[in-house]
Amino acid sequence: MKKVLIANRGEIALRIIKTCKDRGIETIAVYSDADAELPFVSEADYAFRIGEPPVAKSYLNSDKIIEIAVSEGADAVHPGYGLLSENSTFARKIEEAGIKFIGPDWQTVEKMGDKIIARKTMLEAGVPVVPGTIEPVADVEEGVKIAQSIGYPVMLKASGGGGGIGMIKCDNEAMLIQHFASSQQRALSYFGNGSMFIEKYIENARHIEVQIFGDSFGNIVHLYERDCSVQRRNQKVIEETPSPFLTEELRNKITQAAVLSAKAVSYTNAGTVEFVVSESGDFYFLEMNTRLQVEHPVTEMITGIDLVGWQLDVADGKPLSLTQDEIRAAGHSMEFRLYAEDPVTFMPSPGSINQLILPENEKVRVDCGYKQGNSVTPFYDPMIAKIIVSDSTRESVISEAEKFFSDLTIEGLKTNAALFQRILSDEQFRKGDYTTAFLAKQPTKK
């Protein structure tokens, strides 16, 4: 593998470029008009404009991206996360062009991308799934019947959704009736798939996921868990590993379930199995993400493994360099997603980064897609940077993070940095006692 095209933008494109550079692999960036000034464009060895700012005209234009990969002689394409990363047609077309897709085979991407098929596959493999429908729900009448038998509240979800998109919590029958048709319509226009399913809503749950890795020799390992329970709008804000909630016994069970999930689909490359964990410690399969995760750095920090490096190795046909017994975790790591948004209302706040001063701290890794003077445009995800704080204990991670955020200077747009300071001083959070409802329960003080 000598040349890799990165079909993504911002911090993750830079992250991939970094590992490629370490290994002497050349990189090709593709960018939209809105991103021409961003660091990933200048850091790549080659860069090509692919279109206007809206994703449909640029980062989702798979034919154009593949055309560049072919004409530039790329050996592989790294899709990053989001955008085309879980698009099985994209993965298939890349393989058909004789280029390696850095991820699992397209059939697995397709299978796990359909959440109803994913649930069925895991159920058959003996992995517990959230109680709910196995087959798509035909219409609102059937939905009401099913919800009655499961018991409210329920989650109404789109089979083509995932990653917290295309789902809504329904507390009662009236809400389910109100949202069914519009959710179905939206699923059809967003995902091209109007299939809906219903799951029991697990109260006071935690969202815990397990990093898995497979190679083309049938080896499958896990790299421990990440607790991603601090969320707003079903989107993650802080992730940490190890989870402060899991006992050693539960950690063993959940990581074993994740390996079982991966084996059920003969998984290759990096993947994440997401579970919802109830107060009493029951856990259920939610979905499998067939790509590198945004929050992969916390796993890298406690295992010392370069996950992008492993992805390149597996895609290159090499076996995993470590066995399960050789993968060790030490210390604690927490990732904070710095978003361009109002810290109280969580409303997006695009704008220009007039000043950006990141405090120097050897315990802090910053994966940032922007530099001072760049604009955070309304076309893409509002994430500016990932602040990854790692140390020997959870307590010291929290105190280093407090230091970092009190010294951080970012001017020109609103960010959620103030939210992190609030969370870090919260007693419940400091005790590690929080669920996915944590941010919704936060008082909205000014």
Partner 1 sequence: MKEITASMAGTVWQVLVAEGDTVSAGQSVIILESMKMEIPIDASEEGTVAELKVASGDFVNEGDVLVVLK
Q: How far apart are CA 100 and CA 13, in angstroms?
A: 17
Shortest Å distance, C-beta 53 to partner 1 = 8
Out of 274, 335, 367, 381, which residue is the one contacting partner 1 (CB under 8 A)?
381
| Catalytic residue list contains 226 | no
105 in contact with partner 1 (CB under 8 A): no
233 in contact with partner 1 (CB under 8 A): yes
Shortest Å distance, C-beta 349 to partner 1 = 8
Taking every pair of Cα atoms in the chain, the longest distance, rounded to a whole number of angstroms, is 59
Q: How far apart are CA 407 and CA 235, in angstroms?
A: 26
- Encoded tokens for 257: 């379930």
DSSP SS3 for 36: coil
Out of 16, 221, 340, 364, which residue is the one contacting partner 1 (CB under 8 A)?
340
Q: Are the C-beta atoms of residues 144 and 158 closer than 8 Å to each other?
A: no
Q: Are the C-beta atoms of residues 276 and 202 closer than 8 Å to each other?
A: yes
User: Which of these segments, 88-96, 246-254, 300-308, 373-381, binds partner 1 (CB under 8 A)?
Assistant: 373-381
| Stretch 341-360 residues interacting with partner 1 (CB under 8 A) | 341, 347-350
191 in contact with partner 1 (CB under 8 A): no
- 136 or 348, CB closer to partner 1? 348
Q: How many separate helices (H) and strands (E) can be counted in the chain?
A: 15, 20
User: Which of these segments, 98-106, 115-123, 133-141, 378-386, binds partner 1 (CB under 8 A)?
Assistant: 378-386
Number of neighbouring beta carbons within 10 Å of residue 110: 18
Shortest Å distance, C-beta 196 to partner 1 = 18
194 in contact with partner 1 (CB under 8 A): no
Return the closest-CA partner of residue 166 out of 177, 175, 156.
Answer: 156
Out of 33, 43, 54, 178, which residue is the one contacting partner 1 (CB under 8 A)?
54
Shortest Å distance, C-beta 346 to partner 1 = 9
User: Which of these segments, 152-160, 282-290, 372-380, 405-413, binds partner 1 (CB under 8 A)?
Assistant: 372-380
281 in contact with partner 1 (CB under 8 A): no
Number of residues forming the site for partner 1 (CB under 8 A)? 15
For 358, list phi and psi in degrees, rounded to 5: -95, 120
304 in contact with partner 1 (CB under 8 A): no
Residue in 119, 232, 291, 337 annotated catalytic: 291
User: Which of these segments, 246-254, 320-328, 374-382, 404-412, binds partner 1 (CB under 8 A)?
Assistant: 374-382
Q: How far apart are CA 10 and CA 29, in angstroms?
A: 10
Chain centroid, CA 338 distance in Å: 15
Q: Are the C-beta atoms of residues 182 and 123 closer than 8 Å to each other?
A: no
Place of tokens 């979800």: 157
- Encoded tokens for 106: 């397209």
Shortest Å distance, C-beta 296 to partner 1 = 20
The angle, 0 to 180 degrees and rounded to 10, between the axes of the packed helices 248-264 and 115-124 is 110
Residues that bind partner 1 (CB under 8 A): 53-54, 233, 340-341, 347-350, 377-382
Residues with catalytic roles: 291
